[in-house]
Amino acid sequence: MLAMIRRKMKFQREADPVWADQISQQPGIDRIWSCVQCGTCSGTCPLSIYMDFTPRRVVALVREGFRGDALGCQTIWLCASCYSCTAHCPQNVHITDLMYRLKREAIQYRMFPKRFPIPVLAREFFRLVQRHGRNSEVWLVVRMALKSNPFALLSMAKYGFGLLRTGRLSLRQDRIQRTKELQRELSAPQEEPQ
Amino acid sequence: MSEFEPKIVAFFCNWCTYLAADLAGTSRMKYAPNTRVIRVMCSGRVDPQFILEAFARGADGVLIGGCHPNDCHYQEGNYKALRRFYALKEIVRQMGIEDERLRLEWISAAEGERVKIVVNDMVGKIRALGPLRPKPQQEVTA
Amino acid sequence: MSTAQKPARRDGYVYFPGCALSANGIAYDESLRTLYRLLGLGLRELEDWNCCGATAYMSIDEGSAFLLSARNLSIAHRMGAEEVLAPCSACYLVLRKTQDYVAHHPSVRRKVTESLERAGLGPLNTVRVRHPLEVLYNDVGVARIQSLTTRKWRGGRIACYYGCQVVRPYDEVDKPYNPMRMDELMQAVGAPTTDYSLKTKCCGGSLTGTTAEVGLRLNYILLKEAARKGAQAIVTICPLCQFNLDVYQKEIARQSGERFDMPVLFFTQVLGWALGGEPRELGLHRSLAGQSLIQRWFAAKEEVEAYV
Amino acid sequence: MSEAGGPVRIGVYVCHCGTNIAAVVGCGEVADYARSLAQVAVSREYKYLCSEPGQELIRQDIRDHGLNRIVVASCSPHLHEHTFRAAVEKSGLNPFFMHMVNIREHNSWVHEDRAKATAKANDMVRAAVRRVALQQSLSRGRVEINPGVLVVGGGIAGIHAAMTLANAGKKVHLVERQPSIGGHMAMFDKTFPTLDCAACILTPKMSSVKAHPNITLWSNAEVTGVAGYVGNFDVKVTRWPRYIDEDLCTGCLQCVEACVYKEARFPDGFNMGLSKRKPIYLPFPQAVPQVPVIDPETCIQFKTGKCKKTCVAACADRQAIDFQQKEKIEQIRVGAIVIATGFQPFDASRVPYYGYGVYPNVYTSLEVERLVNASGPTGGDVVLRDGRRPKSVGVIHCVGSRDVDSNRWCSRVCCMYSLKLAHLLKEHTDAEIFNFYIDMRTPGKGFEEFYQKLLNEGVHFIRGRVAEVTDWALDPTEEDKLVLRVEDTLLGTVRRIPVDMVVLSVGLEPHADAGEVRRLFNISCASEGFFLERHPKLAPVNTFTDGIFLAGCCQGPKDIPDTVAQAGAAAAEALALIDAGAVETEPNTAHVIEESCSGCRTCVPMCPYNAIVFDAAAGRARIEQVLCKGCGTCVAACPSAAIGQHLFEDAEIFEEIEGVLANV
C-alpha cells in the first residue's frame, strides 16, 4: 500500500529555467510565454485523452523548466502532428513544433519512456531514409510488426496478407538512384543539439 | 575601431509619428539608438532643403515620418510631403546617394511597433552601405 | 463559378508521388494518373524523388527533415517546374513547411543552401507546392468537372474526410474549419455528401501501428460518426487516412462488436470513375473494406450516358 | 512679459525622472556636456523636474542668473511641455523661450546601451541649445468658445453626457444613427451585479432627453462633416428619412396596426432577429422618439409603388407619413464635441468551431438578453429555436476576446454578464448551467460577491476554453445534443459535456466604421481601433484634438457604471472648456515675410484652410492668423523662403539639424 504513495511536490531546485529559455529560442516556440493556459490545445487534441500530461500542461512544464517531466512524458510520443492545437491556439503558440522539439531532445538524451514503440520506429525510419532515400511510415510499421513482434504478428498478419493480395505491400526495399547525392546533402556538420 | 554607427536625422510629424515614437517608449520597445528626431507639426513642413542640409552636415540617412494617407491632422499635408519626396528622391539619387538613405514612412499614433521596425531596418541597411561618402562626381546621364 | 479553364502547364504538372503512393496508397497514384489523363492534363513524375521524411524525421532531426524536402524541391526546379503536385498529406505539409521555414528563418535558409551546394544540387527558388484537391478546384474548376461527367453516380451517400495536415496549419488547400471543396467536387459528379462534423479530425497517423488501441479508437469514431450521419462510404485525400480506415476496418469492427462495411475511397477514384475511367485503372480493386459495395457501385461496363 | 533682449543666457535642465531616464542616460554627463556649450550659463540635473521644487529650481535660476532661454531634457513634450512653459512664464519669461528635449520616450525607454543613449541625449541637447537661442517671444491667440455642444451617439454614454451638459444650461445637439436612442443598454434585460432592470434605469433617462428644453435630439441621423477647431466646430448632420414626420406624428402607432402586412414578417433588429416586425415599425416599445419608421427595403409602396397605403389612411388627417421624405442636412456650430459612438458586438460566426449560424441552438449573449427579457420575443420564456426548453446550457466566455485570431484584448464585461446570464437562465429554466472561462475577472464593486452568489446557486464553473461545439455523438446521452469538448484545466483532463443550448459571450469591438468616424473628427485610434485618449491617466477623456472628448465604449470596453462615470467626466471637460469662454491657441502659425514675397502664389493652394489670401494691390500673399492651423506646408513650399512659421522657423530647424550632427 505504502508503495503506491508517491511524493508529487515539485522543488524549485528541480526546475531549469535556462532550459526553458533555450527551448523558446526556436521560431514559433517563443510564443509559449504568451500561453494563458486556456486548454484549447488539449480540448481540440484527438489524443489528449490518452496523454499523461495534456498539451497545456506540457507547455506549463516547459515554461517552468521541469525538463525531466517534459522530456519523459508520453504526451510527446502520442502527438500525431495533426496541428489541430496549433491551428486553434488563441495565442498562436506553435504547440506541434514544441512537441517535435521535445521529441528530438528526448531521443538525443534517451529520455523517452521505456518500451514505448514510437521513438524506436522514428529512429528506424530515420536510418532507412538516410540510407535508401525512400521509405513509408505506414509500410515500416507493418513490416516492423511483421518482423519483430511475435504477438502483434498474429493480428497484423491478416492485414499483411490483405495488402499483399491487393498489391499494396512489397517487402522489397525501394531506393532512389542517387543515394550518394542525398547522403552528401545530409552530411552537414552536426550543429548544436536542436 | 568600433562598428560604424549610422546617424539618421528623423523628421517626425507631431500628431502621428512623433506620438508613435512616444508609444514605442511607453511600451518599452527597444530599437537602435541611431535616430535624432526633429519634431515638426506636419510632414508637409519638411522642406527639401532640410534633407539636403542633413546630408551635407554628415547624416548617413534621413527618415521622414507622417500620418497615413487620409489621416493627416491637417487634411493633406502628408500628400504634399509625398509629392515633394518623389522629386527629392530623384535629386538625391542623381547626387549618388543610395535610395536606402532617404525614406518616407506613414506611421500612425498607434503604431509604436512600426517605429521600431522601420528604425531598425533602416539602421541595418545603412550600416551595410557604410558611411555616406561623397562619390566621385559621376556624369549625370539624364 | 467560372467555367474558363486555365491553360495547362506547359509540360504538365510535376508530380511527387512519395513513398505512400508507391506502396499502400498505390490506388491513389493510379486514380490520379487516370483522372489527369481524362482531363487532358500532363503529369511528369519528379525525377529520382526521395522520401519527404514525414512526421518521424521531424522528431529526430528538424534540419535534415528540411533537407530531404529541399532536394525534392531543387530537382523540381531543375525540371523547369514552377509547381510541384504532392497528393500525400504528409508530403504536402513537409514540402510546404520547408518552404515556409526557408523563407522566414535565415538559419534554416543558410543550412539548406549550403547543403544543396555540397550535394551539387541547384537552388530551391520558388517552386510552389500544390495539392490535387486545390488544383482540381482552382485550375480545373467544379463546373468543368461537372461538364465532363459521363457516368451517373450509383453509389451511396458520401462523407468527405479531409484529415489534418492538408488543411492545417496552412490553409491554401481548403479552409481549416469545415472545408467544402471536396464536397463540392463530389456533388458536381452527382455523389451526395453528408454533413460530416469530423472531416478535419485526425486519424492518428501511424499510431494505429505503434499504439493500436489508441489509433484504432480514433478510426472507430471516424467510422461510427460517418455511419451515424448516413454515409455509406468515406472519401479521403490522404493515403494514410485511407490506409487506417480501410485496412483496420475489419479489426475495428471485431473489437467494437459493431458492423462496418464502409468503402474508403480516394476522391480521385470517384472523380475518375465519373469521368469515364475503368475501375481497374483507378485501383478500385485494391480496397479491402466494402469491396462488394465497390463492385456494385463501380460496374466496369457501365454504358456511357451523358449526365448533367 | 520679457522680450529677452540682451545676450542669450541659456539654462539647461536634465531630468532623471527617478530612474526612468537616469538608469539608461548618464544625466550628469549630459548636464556637464551642456555646460560646455556656447551661451549656456547654467546646466543642472535634477531628480524630478516636473515636481514643484524642480520647477522652482528653474525659476530661481532665471531670477538669479538672468537666464533668458531654457532647455528641459526630460519626457515627451506631449506630456509636460505645458508644465514647463507655465513654470517659465511664472518667472516672467516668455514661455516660448523654453524648448524640450525628449530623452525618455525617445531615448531611455527604447535604448539599452548607456554610452550610446547618453551620446544621443548629448546630440539632442546640443541641437536644442542651438535652436533655443533663436527662439522668439510669442503670444498666444485667443479664440472665443461657442457655448453649444454636440454629442455623437445616443447610448447610455451619450445620454448621460447630454443630460449633464443640458442640466448645466448648455445647448446640446444629440445625434443618433439608429431611429431610437438607447443603444445596447436598451437591449439588456438586467444589469450586473445588482440585477436591476436595465429598462427601468434607462427609459426614464431617454424620455428626459426628449423632454429637455436644452437638448435637440436628431435620431436616424449621422454627422457627415466636421470643420473648424476648438470652440468653433462647424458640423454637418445628415438626417436620414424615416418617412414619417416627427413633428406631425403623435406616436399612436395606428399606422403599424393598419399596415397591409397583417403579420410581422421581417427580422426584428432590436430582438436580434428572434422575432418579426412589419415594414413600418417602432424599434421597441420604449423607443425615443416614439415615432415609427418605414423600412424602404421591405415596404411594398417603396418596392412596387402600388400599395394600398392603409397606413396613410390610418394616420388620417395627421398626415405624418411622407413617402417622399428626403434626407435633410443640418448645419450647426458648436464649441465642443463629445463622441460616444459605442461598440459593436463581436460577430460570433467568425469563430467557426463554435458553430454559430450552423447549429440553431447556439446563441450569442445579446440574443439571450432578449430571450430572457419580459418584453422580448418570447415574453421572457426561454424556448430554443427548435421549440425545446433547455435542460442544460453551456456559457462560453471570451468569444472574440483574448484571441490573436480575432481580438487580442479582454472585453472586460463578459465575465460579469456571463454570470448574470447564467443566473437569469437558471432562474427562468432551472437548467443545469456550465460556465467555461479562462480567467474569472470580477474586479468591480460587488462583482466578486456576485460570483460567490453564482457559485452557491449550483452553476458549474469549468476553467477551460471550449475547443469545439459539435454535434457528433459518442453515446446515446449525447444524441441530439450539442457537445462541448473542453479541457477542465483544474482537473487536468478533457471533458465532453452535452448541452441543449450554447451561449457565446461575445466580446466588444470598435464599430466597423470607426476608422471613418476617426477621420471625420480628426482624432486617433489605438492599435485595436478604439479611439485614443490623450493620456490614459492625465487626460483620459480628452483626445489629441482640442475640444473633442470621448465617452463610453468607443474608447475601449467598459461596463455601465464606468461608462456613465466617463460620460460625466467628458461632459465636465466640455463644460470647463465652454465656461472659460475662450481658449488660448498655440502661436505656431505661419506668417509672410513681406519684403521677400515675390507674389508667385505657390502657397495659396497649399493651404487646406484657405488661410492664405493674395493681396493683389500689394502683390503679396497674406496669412489670416485666425484661420492658420500651423501645419507649415506653405512654409516648405515657398520658393522665396518668404514664409516663416512661429516656433518652427527655418533657421531654428536648420540649427537643430546642424546641432544633432555637429560632432559627426
Q: Give bridge partners of residue D152 from the DSSP assignment.
A: D175, D339
Whether chain C lies against chain A with 3 or more Cβ pairs closer than 8 A is yes
Q: Compare all CA atoms of chain C with the CA of A100 and give the residue at the minimum distance.
A: C59
| For range A112-130, the mean pLDDT | 79
Question: Quick check: B33 and D637 CB within 8 A?
Answer: no
Residue A121: which of A103, A95, A105, A133 has the closest Cα?
Answer: A103
Rounded Cα distance between D276 and C109, Å, is 60
Interface pTM, i.e. ipTM: 0.84
User: Which pLDDT score is estimated for A137?
Assistant: 64
Which residues in chain C are contacts of D353 at CB distance < 8 A? 177
Residue D494 Cα distances to A43, A51, A57, C201, D426, angstroms: 6, 10, 12, 16, 25
Contacts of C240 in chain A (CB under 8 A): 137-138
pLDDT at C5: 43
Which pLDDT score, from 0 to 100, does residue C4 have?
42
pLDDT band at C2, cuts 50/70/90? very low
Round the average pLDDT of chain B to a whole number and report it: 89
Average pLDDT of the segment spanning B48-55: 92
Nearest to B26 among D77, D105, D654 (CB): D105
pLDDT at A136: 67
- Sorted by sequence, the CB contacts under 8 Å of residue D85 that are 6+ apart come out as D95, D96, D98
Give the model's pLDDT for residue A144: 63
| CB-CB under 8 Å, D661 with B50 | no
Q: What is the mean pLDDT of residues D488-514?
A: 97
pLDDT at B137 (0 to 100): 47
How is residue C119 written as a grid cell?
A: 550535394
Is 70 exceeded by the pLDDT of residue A150? no
Indicate whether C146 pLDDT > 90. Answer: yes
d(CA C205, CA C55): 9
Q: Identify the pLDDT of residue D481.
A: 96
Share of chain D above pLDDT 90, in %: 90
Chain B contacts in chain D segment 602-641 (CB below 8 A): 606, 608, 629-633, 635-637
Measure the CA–CA gap between A106 and D265, rounded to whole angstroms: 65
User: So what's the pLDDT on residue B140?
Assistant: 43
Residue D546: Cβ within 10 Å count: 17
Nearest chain A residue to C113, by CA: A185
Residue carrying the nine cell digits 462583482: D447
Confidence tier at D2 by pLDDT (50, 70, 90): very low
| Angstrom distance (rounded) from CA B36 to CA C130 | 48
Cβ count near B29 (within 10 Å): 18
CA of C228 to nearest chain D CA: how many angstroms apart?
9
D112 touches chain B (CB under 8 A): yes
Question: What is the pLDDT, as a whole number, of residue A133?
Answer: 87
Mean pLDDT, rounded, for D341-353: 97
Q: What angle do CA D215, D220, D222 make, to 5 degrees?
A: 80
- Nearest Cα to Cα of residue D175 among D423, D341, D387, D372: D341
List pLDDT tens digits, range C25-67.
Answer: 999 999 999 999 999 998 999 999 999 988 888 888 888 889 9
Helix (H) or strand (E) segment spanning residue D435: strand D432-437
Residues 6+ apart with CB under 8 A from D83: D50, D55
Tell whether A104 is within 8 A of chain C (Cβ): yes
pLDDT at residue D604 is higher than 70 = yes
For residues C231 and C159, is the Cβ–Cβ distance under 8 A? yes
Amino acid at D654: F
pLDDT, one tens digit per residue, over D326-335 is 999 999 999 9
Mean pLDDT value across residues B3-18? 94
- The whole-number pLDDT of residue A110 equals 86
Confidence of residue B134 (pLDDT cuts 50, 70, 90): low
Joined together, the cell numbers standing for residue D218 give: 436628431
Candidates C214, C284, C218, C215; CA nearest to A138 is C215
The whole-number pLDDT of residue D50 equals: 95
Q: In whole angstroms, give the CA distance from residue C43 to residue C294.
A: 27
Q: In what order do the strands lie in the sheet with C233-236?
A: C158-161, C233-236, C264-266
From the candidates A38, A41, A83, which should be mutated to test the interface with D, based on the most D CB atoms within 10 A? A38
Who's near C107: CB < 8 A, 6+ residues apart? none
CB-neighbour burial class of residue D333 (10 A; exposed 0-12, middle 13-18, buried 19+)? middle
Better pLDDT: D375 or D236: D236
Contacts of A134 in chain C (CB under 8 A): 19, 22, 50-51
Rounded to an integer, the average pLDDT of D339-361 is: 97
Q: Mean pLDDT in chain A?
A: 83
Whether D36 has a pLDDT exceeding 80, the answer reads: yes
Q: What is the pLDDT of residue A147?
A: 54
In the predicted model, what is the mean pLDDT of residues D515-541? Answer: 91
Which residues does chain D have within 8 Å of residue B3's beta carbon, measured at their own beta carbons? none
A110-114, C151-155, D308-312: which has the minimum mean pLDDT?
A: A110-114
Q: Are the CB atoms for A86 and A46 separated by under 8 Å? A: no
How far is the alpha carbon of A75 from chain D, nearest alpha carbon, in Å? Answer: 13
Q: Do C177 and D472 touch (CB under 8 A)?
A: no
Cell numbers linked to C232? 455509406
Q: Is-contact C284 C273, C-beta < 8 A?
A: yes
Neighbours of A, requiring at least 3 CB pairs below 8 Å, are C, D
Whether residue C125 is predicted with pLDDT greater than 60 in this model: the reply is yes
Q: What is the pLDDT of residues D358-407, one digit of tens each?
A: 999 999 999 999 999 999 999 999 999 988 999 999 999 999 999 999 99
Are β-strands D501-506 and C264-266 bridged in parallel, bridged antiparallel, or unpaired?
A: unpaired
Nearest Cα to Cα of residue A49 among C223, C246, C202, C250 = C202
pLDDT higher at A188 or D614: D614
Verify whether the Cβ–Cβ distance D519 to B24 is below 8 Å. no
Best of D106, D542, D545 to disrupt the B interface by mutation (most B CBs within 10 Å)? D106
User: Model confidence over A65-95: pLDDT tens digits?
Assistant: 999 999 999 999 999 999 999 999 999 999 9
Outline where DSSP puts E strands in chain C.
13-15, 43-45, 83-85, 128-130, 158-161, 233-236, 264-266
Instruction: Identify the pLDDT of residue C126.
Output: 78
All cell numbers assigned to D420 = 448574470
- pLDDT for res A155: 56
Contacting residues of C for D471, CB less than 8 Å apart: 197
Confidence of residue C304 (pLDDT cuts 50, 70, 90): very low
The pLDDT of residue A158 is above 70: no
Instruction: Assign C210 to helix, strand or coil.
Output: helix
CB contact under 8 A, D352 and C177: yes
Per the CB < 8 Å rule, is C53 touching A129? Answer: yes
Average pLDDT over residues C224-243: 95
Q: Which residues of C touch D355 (CB under 8 A)?
A: none
Which among C178, C197, C221 has the least Cβ separation from residue D471?
Answer: C197
Report CB contact under 8 Å: C19, A139. Answer: yes
Lowest mean pLDDT among A31-35, D164-168, D283-287, D472-476: D472-476
- Mark yes or no for CB contact D111/B31 under 8 Å: yes
Question: pLDDT class for A27, splitting at 50, 70, 90?
Answer: confident
pLDDT band at B142 (very low <50, low <70, confident <90, very high): very low
- Our CA angle for A12, A17, A22, nearest 5°, is 160
pLDDT at C56: 80
Q: What tens digit of pLDDT does each residue of C260-298 get?
A: 999 999 999 999 999 999 999 999 999 999 999 999 999
Examine the pLDDT at C22 and tell me if it is beyond 90.
Answer: no
Residues 6+ apart with CB under 8 A from C51: A129, A133, A134, A135, A136, C18, C19, C68
> Would you place residue A146 in the very low, low, confident or very high pLDDT band (cuts 50, 70, 90)?
low
* Residues in chain C closer than 8 A to A167 (CB atoms): 26, 286
Phi, psi (degrees; rounded to nearest 5) at D306: -125, 35
What does the DSSP 8-state code read for residue B68? P
Say how far apart CA D399 and CA D506 lie, in whole Å: 5
For the cut 80, the answer to whether the pLDDT of residue A148 exceeds it is no
Asked if pLDDT for residue A160 goes beyond 80, the answer is: no
Q: Give the one of C202, C209, C286 whose C-beta lies nearest to A166's C-beta.
A: C286
Query: What DSSP character marks residue B45?
Result: G
Q: Which residue of A has its CA nearest to C29?
A: A168
Instruction: Using CB atoms, pick whichever of C177, C198, C225 lies closest to residue D353.
Output: C177
Residue A2 pLDDT exceeds 70: no
Q: How far is C147 from chain D (nearest CA, A)?
A: 31
Best probe of the D interface among B41, B60, B76, B79, by most D CBs < 10 A, is B41
Chains D and B touch (3+ CB pairs under 8 A): yes
Calculate helix-pair angle for C89-104, C239-247, nearest 10 degrees: 150
According to the model, what pLDDT value does residue D11 have? Answer: 97
Taking an 8 Å cut-off on Cβ atoms, the answer to whether A40 and D493 are in contact is no
pLDDT, position D4 = 55
Distance in Å, alpha carbon of D338 to nearest chain B alpha carbon: 19
Beta-bridge partners for D448: none
The confidence band for A194, taking pLDDT boundaries of 50, 70 and 90, is very low
**What span, in angstroms and rounded, lies between the C-alpha atoms of B22 and D75?**
9
Query: Phi/psi class of residue A108: alpha, beta or left (left: φ > 0; alpha: ψ in -120 to 50)?
Result: alpha
Neighbours of A189 (CB within 10 A): 5
Three-class DSSP category at B64 = strand
In the stretch 121-180 of chain A, residues with CB closer than 8 A to chain C read 121-123, 125-126, 129-130, 133-139, 141-142, 144-145, 152, 155, 158-159, 162-163, 166-170, 174, 176-178
CA–CA min distance A100, chain D (Å): 22
Q: Which of C65, C96, C68 is nearest to C167 (CA)?
A: C96
- Distance, CA of C229 to CA of D40 (rounded, Å): 86
Over residues A5-33, the mean pLDDT reads: 89
At residue A151 the predicted structure's pLDDT band, cuts being 50, 70 and 90, is: low
pLDDT at B138 over 60: no
By Cβ distance, the residue of D352, D358, D472 closest to C198 is: D472
Q: What would the pLDDT profile of B78-113 be if each residue is shown by its tens digit?
A: 998 999 999 888 888 888 899 999 999 999 998 999
Radius of gyration of chain C (CA): 19
Cis before D193 (ω within 30): yes
- Facing residue for A135 by CB, picked from C51, C214, C286: C51
3-state secondary structure of D168: coil
Distance from CA of D410 to the nearest CA of A (A): 12
Q: How far apart are CA D29 and CA C173, in angstroms?
A: 61
Pick from A31, A42, A61 the residue to mutate for testing the D interface (most D CBs within 10 Å).
Answer: A42
Per the CB < 8 A criterion, the answer to whether C145 and C188 are in contact is yes
Three cell numbers at A113? 519512456
Looking only at the bridges linking them, the beta strands covering D392-399 and D501-506 are parallel
